[in-house]
Structure 1
Amino acid sequence: MKPLNFGILGAAKFALEHMGPAIHAAKGARLTALATSSEEKFAAFQSFAPDLRRHDSYEALLADPEIEIVYIPLPNALHIEWASKALEAGKHVLCEKPLALNAADIDPLIALRDKTGLFAAEAYMIVHHPQWKQVRKWLDAGAIGTLRHADVAFSFNNPDPENIRNRPETGGGSIPDIGVYAYSSVRYAARAEPTKLHSIIHRENGVDVFAQVIGEMQGPKGSFTYGAMTSTRIAPRQQVVFQGDAGLIRVVTPFNAGVFREAEIQLERMGEPTQTIRYPMANQYVLQVENVVRTIREGAPYPWTLEDARAGQAMIDQVFASEI
C-alpha cells in the first residue's frame, strides 16, 4: 500500500512531541513536509524525520502536490479556517481539538467535506485507544449493571499568561482545551448525550481556568447523573469513573495514556475480585494515524466523525450557557 503523505501546518510543541513522531512511526503514513518559517523549529522535527521538507508558509504546503493530508495543530481559533482551506486545496484533514469554538461553525466544514468527498476529522485520539474501546464494551454489556453516575476530573497547572491556552484571542481556556475530553469521553463510552447541565466557571484574563459541571445524561439504557471538573490552575489529576448499581469502572489514565502514567482500567463488581487491564505499549497517537490511513486508503469506518465532534462541541456550548 502506498504511504499516505502527511504535511503539518506549523511547528507546534504538541506536534513536535507527539503527533509528528506518531505520523513518522505509523504504518502506512509518511511525514513529508512541515510549514514553518523557523529553521530552528524545522531542525527539531528533522531529528526524527530527516527526509522532511520545509515550506515557508501554510499556503505553500497546501499547494504541494505530493501532500495528501494536512494535520493542523494551530491555535483553536484558527482550526476551522485552515481546515476549510485544506479541503478547498484538495487535501484530507486531521485537525486538533477543539475543532471549533462553537458547534454551528462546524456545519460549513461538514458541508465542505461532503462536497469534496475528502476525509476530515477532529484529532480526538482517545477513541483510538484500546482502553476506551474496552470501557465501551463493558458498558454495552452491562458489566456494572445499570449505569447511575459518571464522574470525571482533568486538571493541570499552567499559569503562563503567554501560553495560547491562557489567551482569549487564540481560543484558550480549560473547557476548550480539556473539557472536550472530560465531556466527550463519557459521551463516547456510554453512547450518551446531556439532557440537563449546570456549571460553575472561574475565569482569569478572559479565559476559564476552572469549571465544575453537574447534570444528567441520557444513554440507550436510561439516564444517569454526571459530574466533571476541569482546571488549568491546580495540580495534575485525571480520572474517569463509571458507577452502576452492580459495580464500577475506573479509568486510571483516561486522557494522556502513557504520558501522565500507564494506561489502566479496572472493573469492580460486588463480591468479585477486581479485574485490571493495563496497556503499556499502546500509543493512541500512532493508532489514530493508522486508523486515518485505513479510512482513506481502504474505506474503513472511522470512530470519530465531524458529526461526533459537532455533538461534543454542542455540549461545550451547553456548559458555557448553563453557568450558574
Structure 2
Amino acid sequence: MPATNADTGPGLDHGPDPVGLGVMGCADIAVRKILPALAGAPGCGLRLTTLASRSPEKAKETAARFGARAVTGYAELLADPEVEAVYIPLPPALRAPWVRAALEAGKHVLAEKPLTTDPALTAALAALAGSAGLVLMENYMFVHHTQHRYVRDLVTDGTIGELRSFQAAFTIPPRPDADHRLDPGLGGGALLDGAGYPVRAAQYFLGDDLTVLGADLRLHPDHDVDIAGAALLRNADGITAQITFGMEHFYTSRYQLLGSTGQITVEHAYSTPPDHRPVIRIDHQNHQELRTRPADNQCVNTLTRFADRVRTDATDGSATSVAQARIIEAIRRTATPVAKNR
C-alpha cells in the first residue's frame, strides 16, 4: 500500500534534553488533551515551558495547573528563548498568520487541523518551513494510533484480497450556536472541521494523489457554513473512496476497506480513547473474525513523533497536509451546496 508522511515508528530515546514547547492559547483541545498528555508522559521528548493567552488570568490559571510559565499575548511566547517549538490550537481562520509568525521566529510548529483554511496558504507555509529547516506538523492524532498500521499491514498482506474500495465517516451531533464551528469568520463548517478525518484516512490507505469525482454539501439554515457533506474520491489505481462528514448526526467514527475476498471495519477510528482496546472486524465469505488490539495513546504518540522529527531534522512531513488541503478545496469546488430547511 502507498506510504504517506503520516507513517509513524517507535519513539526515540530523547534522553535528558527534551524540546522546549510553548502553547499558544487555552483552547479546549489543549486543556483537555494535549496538556494532560504532556504532563502524563515526561518521556515523550517535549517539555512544557510557556503558555500564552490574550487573557492574563486565563494564562496564569492554566499555566499553574500544568507547571508552565504564563505570558500574556502570543508575540511574547514567540520571543521566549526557552521555546523551541510551538503548539497552536487557535481556530482555523486564525492559524495561518501565527504559524507563519512562529516559523519566522525560528520555532518548530505543531498546529491543529486544518492547518489553514486555504490550500495556497498551506503550501506556502510548508515551503517556508522547509526552507527554514523547521518541522511543520498538522495535528491529526489518529494516524499515530497503532491500530491503523496494523490494518494497513493486513491489507498489504492480502487478508481481504485486492483492495477495491474504501468508505469512511466522521459525524458529530449538532453544535451549540456559539460554537466556533458555526462561525464562518473563524473557519467553521463541517468540511473544514470534520471532512479532514475521513480524507486523511483515505490518504493513509490510498495515497495522497486523490481526485474528487463528485461531492455534496448541505448548508446550515441559520449560519453561513456547511453542516454536512459527502464526496467520492479515486486514486491513480482506480480505487475509490467514499467519505461522509457532518455536524447534525449520530456520532460516527468509522472506516471500511472492501477487498476482493473480504472486508475490514474499524470503529472508534479517529477519537480513540487511550484506554480503549480497538476491535478490528474482518468479514470473509463464510466467517467473521474479531481481533482485539492493545490500547494505545494516540495523543502521546503524536507528541513523541513531533519531538522525534524536531530532534532528527525530519522536516519533510508536510506533503500529506498540502495534498489534503488540495482535496478539501476540490470537494468545495465540486459540490453544489444545498440549503437545509429549518
* TM-score normalized by the length of structure 2: 0.87
1:211 aligns with 2:211: no
1:130 aligns with 2:146: yes
Q: Which residue of 2 aligns with 1:32?
A: 49
1:202–1:273 distance in 2 versus 1, CA, 3 Å: closer
> How much has 1:121 moved relative to structure 2?
1.1
Structure 1 contact 253–262 (Cα < 8 Å) conserved = no
Q: Which runs of 4+ in 1 moved over 4 A?
A: 259-262
Structure 2 contact 212–331 (Cα < 8 Å) conserved = no
Structure 1 contact 202–211 (Cα < 8 Å) conserved = yes
> 5 Å matches for 1:74-93?
74-93=90-109
Structure 1 contact 196–216 (Cα < 8 Å) conserved = yes
Q: Which residue of 2 aligns with 1:66?
A: 82
1:189 aligns with 2:189: no
Structure 2 contact 274–298 (Cα < 8 Å) conserved = no
Match for 1:240 among 239, 246, 255?
Answer: 255
| More off after superposition, 20-29 vs 129-138 | 20-29
Between Structure 1 and Structure 2, the one with more strand by share is 1
1:319 aligns with 2:339: no
Structure 2 contact 214–233 (Cα < 8 Å) conserved = no
1:297 aligns with 2:319: no
> How much has 1:275 moved relative to structure 2?
4.1
Give me the CA root mean square deviation: 2.0
> 5 Å matches for 1:141-160?
141-160=157-176
Q: Which residue of 1 aligns with 2:61?
A: 43
| More off after superposition, 228-237 vs 55-64 | 228-237
Instruction: Provide the rounded CA distance (Å) in 2 between the counterparts of 1:62 and 1:310.
Output: 25
Q: Which residue of 1 aligns with 2:299?
A: 285
Deviations 1:289-324 (A, max 9, x none): 01111122234x58x921110101111111111114
- SS of the equivalent of 1:235 reads coil
Q: Which residue of 2 aligns with 1:224?
A: 239
Deviations 1:127-160 (A, max 9, x none): 2110111122222223211111211121111331
Match for 1:15 among 26, 30, 43?
Answer: 30
> How much has 1:116 moved relative to structure 2?
1.4
Partner amino acid, structure 1, of 2:182:
N
Q: Which residue of 1 aligns with 2:266?
A: 251
> How much has 1:53 moved relative to structure 2?
0.6
* TM-score normalized by the length of structure 1: 0.91
Instruction: Provide the rounded CA distance (Å) in 1 between the counterparts of 2:183 and 2:249.
Output: 18
Instruction: Provide the rounded CA distance (Å) in 1 between the counterparts of 2:125 and 2:212.
Output: 28
- SS of the equivalent of 2:155 reads helix
Q: Which residue of 1 aligns with 2:155?
A: 139
1:111–1:194 distance in 2 versus 1, CA, 3 Å: closer
Deviations 1:174-231 (A, max 9, x none): 1111111011111112325323421121112111111022x24125xx3223221111
Gap regions ≥5 residues in structure 1: none
- SS of the equivalent of 2:147 reads helix
Structure 2 contact 63–69 (Cα < 8 Å) conserved = no
- SS of the equivalent of 2:251 reads strand
Instruction: Provide the rounded CA distance (Å) in 2 between the counterparts of 1:286 and 1:99.
Output: 20
Structure 1 contact 135–189 (Cα < 8 Å) conserved = no
Instruction: Provide the rounded CA distance (Å) in 2 between the counterparts of 1:42 and 1:254.
Output: 35
Gap regions ≥5 residues in structure 2: 1-14, 337-342
> How much has 1:260 moved relative to structure 2?
11
